[in-house]
Structure 1
């Protein structure tokens, strides 16, 4: 099973708890604020803002909360100044890990992220140590039970997607970021259910995780990083052996 597919399952399972704690809405609001600050408050003319608002709406964020975040980004309302930071490091088994951060306090966040790496069998690396392994792409996870591979391939590629591949219980549809919205629109128009849809970073080469303890350690590291308020997204370059994926799913 591809690592990001298994990681998507964990993120979705903890999504409801995140909403109760307000973490998810807080992260999405930061994403909207930064997108509006950089490209203006009109989602029709600001692709990053449109993507951020779409994510917020799919997560059931109230419209007034979205509007307030846009106004903060455009300067109509006061807000904190967030810095965009990319933290890079390694987890157990030599798995490369990349974290996209939005923070108003770099020193505090750096200390928190370093500690999470260290107590989970990893280490925070220097700038550029793993980012070169990842390419920015649109990624859609579609349950294999929802549509035939042939039909999905036809719809996705006609809309501009680059590839459709099977990864365990999901089809992975990938595309370049500039066609993300049109691929998303095509899939939604055909009423194809999506487990997740995001612009993320995908590693060209993967580390095979073949023992249970390493798999647990890597997944725990990613879960704790994702749980940090300042972390917007977490990417890693691993595949979990099918036999381990079955054991982890049963836990």
Structure 2
């Protein structure tokens, strides 16, 4: 996901609208409910739920929304259940995309995902045809100002992380899946809630996009995917060149 953060910075500028914030909150709540139904409402015994709540807090989801989600998950009369599905696809230029979804209607979701790929020149592929180019990892992101790069590196080693990237604006700590929750707890205790924490997909190789038209089309695809309430996260093996990033962010 190196470079993907550049795109996220654009999204953060565009994404302050109430509509986008409401969609984000809906997705965070859906993940909390799903995590709690699968592993129980005791966050201390449910690593996925701990991560879900941490992610929600980092996005400023109100505490009462979190509490309501936990109450809904523990209510035996609540029959809403969401199924996890992953979709993989390609965009011209060798760009690979992974889409993670939580849905109560798989047919609706696959139709929306396929439509977005088709509209913007991409193609859905068989599961496994894209994900082999990625590593499944834990990812914890802090703002640059929480500590120096050396301090973050030392803390990440102490926490049991496997890699750290420090950019001009953030520190990104990568963990394996098994140690993610322990690393997150260790680093949160030391530095407070991260900007973002998730289990996700890290590309093994990055494709740099230096064509404005291709970049704009790709970002429209990502926007279209993320517009769906069923789509939780989108990952790709690309980054924007500095020139294209500056053009699009302006």
Tell me the TM-score normalized by structure 2.
0.87
> Which one is further off, 106-115 or 136-145?
136-145
Tell me the equivalent position of 1:237: 237
> Which one is further off, 107-116 or 54-63?
54-63
Tell me the equivalent position of 2:196: 196
Tell me the equivalent position of 1:132: 132
Tell me the TM-score normalized by structure 1.
0.87
Tell me the equivalent position of 2:88: 88
In the aligned structure 2, how far is the partner of 1:85 from the partner of 1:38? Answer: 15
Provide, for residues 175-203 of structure 1, a one-character-per-residue CA deviation record: whole Å limited to 9, x for no partner: 12333334334444444784433221111
In the aligned structure 1, how far is the partner of 2:55 from the partner of 2:91? Answer: 28
Provide, for residues 107-133 of structure 1, a one-character-per-residue CA deviation record: whole Å limited to 9, x for no partner: 111111111111112122222221222
For structure 1, the 5+ residue unaligned runs are none
Change (3 A) 1:92 1:141: farther
Residue 56 of structure 1 deviates from its aligned partner by 1.9
In the aligned structure 2, how far is the partner of 1:227 from the partner of 1:25? Answer: 13
> Which one is further off, 20-29 or 100-109?
20-29
For structure 2, the 5+ residue unaligned runs are none
Change (3 A) 1:182 1:193: same
Change (3 A) 1:134 1:248: same
Is the contact made by 1:72 and 1:79 (CA closer than 8 Å) also made in structure 2?
no
Is the contact made by 1:147 and 1:192 (CA closer than 8 Å) also made in structure 2?
no
Change (3 A) 1:172 1:124: same
RMSD between aligned residues:
2.5
**Would you say how many aligned residue pairs link Structure 1 and Structure 2?**
250
Change (3 A) 1:170 1:213: farther
- Give matches, 1:4-83, under 5 Å: 4-17=4-17, 22-83=22-83
Is the contact made by 1:143 and 1:193 (CA closer than 8 Å) also made in structure 2?
no
Residue 12 of structure 1 deviates from its aligned partner by 2.9
